């Protein structure tokens, strides 16, 4: 039930205005005959307080009634309401006692706070509030402080918090009239008995108002009157409608629009099922389409049984997984081969894979690095997945292992690669190194050049070979470059290189360079 905040009534506004007038009259030290007007104000306050008390008692009755109907739902809020009642009654009764004591001090043992005869008596108030050892002014202030803080801790509406905090404030306002006095002195020192009783009645009215605001807040939080529903349906909420053979099918069976503290009875296959929190589980041992069917029973507010049928289909499939080489269809020995591994419907962090004939290392996001060790020997990757707390094998995948193909030699030219043809002499003189790589658009693998020869031809047509200094052109080779004229050509051959697989190989190709 959505509970609306109660607006301030015209009567309450009038009481607030009279309170302001009261304080003004006290400040003016009006004659005793004017104090007769306080009886009218006090009567209005008592009437307003009685109305608030009646409204609050009605809410307490509602709490008690619904506590009987649904203690599990209402208990926490009912306990808070009882705490509010205790605090409000404690401070309210203390103020009532103070009013009686002031009346008796002013008029004798038959004194009545609702009809004080000696309205201008100031000694009575001073004795009750400030007498050494028996004065109760300080007790009143501490009681109001405790009640105010308790109430504000339960109010969330900022406007209501400000109103209650203002009504129950015990700090003396700053100004020349305070003169270092505390709240009880500021309010009651040298105050006529009729005015003091009226001030205390105003405080009681504020207490009942604050009590009511808290009760309405508690009632709106719990919606204690909104416990019936007018539309009910049965639902099955599965964790998945496609299950791998050997895995578990789980489904939540619930009654829609029903109070969660009132649980329906569940029947599956004509038999009552004792399910914890409505959670159904069964091991799926056979593939194919399956059906979960049954009905729910629940008693409505009038005591009648409500029955709702439910049907949920789900499919059980064979275990499957996908393993693919990211860059190629085979694995190369001694090389870090990227591999993607996935299982439909299973997150990557629940999947694991191992490989025979080498090592398989996870690289994140379903990617692995496969390093086969032997050429010509197949590598087998086995994929497993964690399902329902247990590990299940999802499949085996076989890959042929080959040696990396030979790379292609090139002359390094900054960030470029020269693989043969015409080359300006100035550019040739600035080159230093020979490289080799597989860069066919699928693989991009660099090799280390161990050595090579350059073959030049003299004027007689004789071949003149020169040996490099590792991957670098030697000084003799560079000297020959310097003497080459336009149109001359030479060859780079007998290139030796080693790749990431550690295998040294001699490249069959020869790189032709024509000087222009």
User: What CATH number is attached to the domain comprising 328?
Assistant: 2.60.40.60
pLDDT at 381: 94
What is the total count of domains within the chain? 4
- Nearest 5°: CA angle at 41, between 39 and 46? 90
Least confident of 29-33, 145-149, 338-342: 29-33
Percent pLDDT > 90 in the chain is 42
In the block, tokens 């190989």 appear at 505
Domain hosting residue 118, numbered range: 10-222
Residue the block writes with tokens 């969660």: 260
Domain assignment present for 4: no
Task: Tell me, yes or no, whether 154 and 44 share the same domain.
Answer: yes
| Residue 460 maps to a domain | yes
Last-in-domain residue among 170, 187, 222 = 222
Same-domain pairing of 361 and 417: no
Tokens of 106: 């002013």
Q: Using one digit for the tens of pLDDT, what is the confidence trace for 152-179?
A: 998 888 888 999 998 899 988 776 566 6
Least confident of 19-23, 361-365, 463-467, 471-475: 19-23
Q: Which of 292, 317, 342 is the last residue of a domain?
A: 317
DSSP labels, 333-361: TTS-EEEEEEBTTB-GGGEEEEEESEEEE
472 and 503: one domain? yes
In this structure, the answer to whether residues 204 and 273 fall within a common structural domain is no
Residues 239 and 348 in one domain: no
pLDDT-derived band of residue 144, with 50, 70 and 90 as boundaries? very high
DSSP, res 278: G
- Same domain assignment for residues 327 and 301: no
Q: Would you say residue 128 lies in a domain?
A: yes
Most confident of 196-200, 310-314, 346-350: 196-200
Task: From 402, 428, 460, give the residue that closes a domain.
Answer: 402
120 confidence band (pLDDT: 50, 70, 90): confident
Q: What's the CA gap between 183 and 130, in Å, rounded?
A: 12
CB 507 within 8 A of CB 409: yes
- Co-location of 25 and 144 in the same domain: yes
The enclosing H or E element of 37 equals helix 37-69
- Tens of pLDDT, residues 37-71: 677 778 878 888 899 999 999 999 988 987 888 78
User: What pLDDT does residue 4 have?
Assistant: 46
Q: Say whether both 389 and 416 belong to one domain.
A: no
> Does residue 189 or residue 329 have the better pLDDT?
189
* 292 and 178 belong to one structural domain: no
Average pLDDT over residues 91-97: 94
Residue 129: other Cβ atoms inside 10 A:
24
Q: Which residue has the higher pLDDT, 219 or 431?
A: 431
Residue 39 lies in a domain: yes
Give the tens place of pLDDT for each residue, 368-384.
999 998 888 999 999 99
Look at residue 22 in the predicted model and tell me its pLDDT: 59
Residue 65 lies in a domain: yes
On whether the CB atoms of residues 484 and 444 are closer than 8 A, the answer is: no
Domain presence at residue 5:
no
238 lies in the same domain as 198? no
Residues 455 and 492 in one domain: yes
The CATH code of the domain that includes 238 is 2.60.40.10
Is 352 part of a structural domain of the chain?
Answer: yes
Q: Is residue 103 classed exposed, middle or buried when 0-12, 13-18 and 19+ CB atoms within 10 A define those classes?
A: buried
Structural contact between residues 331 and 337, judged by C-beta atoms closer than 8 angstroms: yes
Q: Interior CA angle at 81 toward 79 and 83, to 5°?
A: 70
Burial of residue 331, with CB atoms counted within 10 A of its CB: 0-12 exposed, 13-18 middle, 19 or more buried? buried
Of 393, 408, 439, 422, which Cα lies nearest the Cα of 516?
A: 422
The answer to the question of residue 421 being in a domain is yes
User: Is residue 302 predicted with pLDDT exceeding 60?
Assistant: no
- Categorize the per-residue pLDDT at 224 as very low, low, confident or very high, splitting at 50, 70 and 90: very low
110 lies in the same domain as 197:
yes
The SS3 assignment for 39 reads helix
């Amino acid at each position: 039930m959505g509970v609306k905040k109660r607006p301030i009534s015209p009567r309450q506004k009038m009481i607030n205005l009279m309170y302001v007038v009261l304080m003004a009259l006290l400040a003016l030290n009006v004659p005793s005959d004017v104090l007769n007007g306080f009886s009218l104000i006090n009567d209005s306050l008592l009437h307003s307080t009685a109305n608030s008390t009646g409204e609050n008692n009605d809410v307490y009755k509602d709490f008690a009634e619904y506590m009987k109907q649904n203690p599990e739902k209402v208990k926490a809020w009912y306990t808070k309401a009882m705490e509010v009642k205790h605090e409000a009654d404690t401070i309210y009764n203390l103020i009532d006692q103070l009013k009686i004591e002031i009346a008796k001090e002013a008029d004798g043992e038959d004194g009545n706070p609702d009809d004080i005869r000696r309205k201008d008596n100031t000694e009575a108030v001073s004795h009750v509030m400030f007498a050494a050892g028996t004065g109760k002014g300080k007790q009143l202030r501490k009681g109001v402080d405790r009640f105010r803080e308790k109430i504000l801790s339960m109010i969330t509406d900022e406007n209501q918090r400000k109103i209650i905090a203002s009504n129950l404030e015990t700090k003396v306002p700053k100004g020349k009239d305070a003169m270092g006095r505390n709240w009880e002195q500021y309010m009651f020192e040298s105050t006529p008995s009729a005015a003091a009783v009226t001030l205390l009645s105003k405080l009681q009215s504020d207490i009942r108002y604050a009590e009511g605001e808290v009760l309405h807040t508690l009632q709106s939080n719990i919606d204690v009157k909104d416990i019936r529903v007018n539309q009910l349906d049965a639902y099955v909420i599965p964790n998945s409608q496609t299950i791998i053979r050997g895995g578990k099918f789980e489904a939540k069976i619930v009654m829609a629009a029903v109070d969660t503290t009132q649980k329906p009875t569940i029947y599956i296959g004509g038999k009552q099922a004792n399910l914890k929190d409505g959670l159904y589980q069964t091991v799926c041992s056979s593939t194919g389409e399956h059906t979960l069917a049954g009905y729910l029973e629940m008693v409505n507010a009038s005591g009648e049984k409500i029955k709702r049928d439910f049907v949920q289909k789900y499919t059980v499939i064979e275990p499957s997984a996908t393993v693919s080489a990211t860059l190629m269809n085979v694995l190369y020995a001694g090389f870090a081969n990227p591999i993607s591994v996935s299982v439909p419907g299973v997150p990557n962090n629940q999947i694991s894979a191992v490989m025979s004939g080498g090592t398989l290392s996870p690289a994140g996001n379903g990617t692995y690095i496969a390093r086969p060790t032997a050429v010509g020997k197949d590598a087998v990757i086995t994929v497993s997945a964690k399902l329902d707390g247990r590990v299940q094998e999802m499949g085996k995948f076989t890959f042929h292992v080959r040696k990396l193909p030979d790379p292609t030699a090139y002359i390094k030219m900054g960030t470029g690669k020269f693989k043969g043809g015409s080359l300006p002499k100035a550019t040739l003189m600035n080159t230093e190194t020979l490289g080799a790589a597989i860069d066919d658009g699928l693989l991009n693998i660099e090799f280390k050049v161990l050595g090579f020869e350059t073959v030049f031809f003299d004027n007689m047509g004789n071949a003149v070979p020169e040996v490099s200094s590792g991957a670098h052109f030697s000084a003799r080779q560079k000297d020959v470059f310097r003497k080459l004229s336009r149109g001359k050509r030479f060859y780079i051959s007998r290139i030796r290189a080693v790749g990431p697989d550690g295998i040294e190989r001699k490249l069959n190709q020869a790189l032709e360079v024509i000087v222009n």
